[in-house]
Amino acid sequence: MIRVSVHAEPIDIAAALAEAEVPGAGGIATFTGIVRADDGVSVLELEHYPGATEAALEALADQAAERWALRAVTIIHRVGAMVPGDRIVFIATAAAHRAPALDACAYLIDRLKTDAPFWKREMTGGDARWVDARDSDDAAAARWASKTD
């Protein structure tokens, strides 16, 4: 089962986790991303291209499910305005055993940072700035190209 959702509403972690608890899953790994207040950020706005964003996330989920024989994948990503402390992303991967669930979860967050079409704008005081991609995100995603399971 693959579930992908992109929306402005807060993420209900309990409900999302319950969906990943499927028969045959002996290990479920999760990642929750939280908006940080780095450098005085008061608001983080995420924009996306509807349709394209969901398709990109579904493609990543399909790749992970095939690579690690996952029983379930959930990717929930928020868009719109968020403040520090808000949940921005939730990923759950379920597999027969813990190792593939953990690896798949790490893979998805690393690849999501580089492959999903989101645009970030940070508000600090009265200023706003678009956030550029980080070299560290590219390096994290690239490590999966050379790894074997």
Is 139 buried (19+), middle (13-18) or exposed (0-12) by CB count in 10 A? exposed
Flag whether pLDDT at 138 surpasses 80: no
For residue 14, CA distances in Å to 11, 30, 31, 65 come to 9, 11, 13, 22
Domain ranges of the chain: 2-146
Q: Which CATH architecture has domain 2-146?
A: Alpha-Beta Complex (3.90)
pLDDT tens figures, 52-102: 999 999 999 999 999 999 999 999 999 999 999 999 999 999 999 999 999
Flag whether pLDDT at 112 surpasses 80: yes
Collapsing DSSP states into helix, strand and coil, what is residue 85?
Answer: coil
| Average pLDDT of every residue of the chain | 91
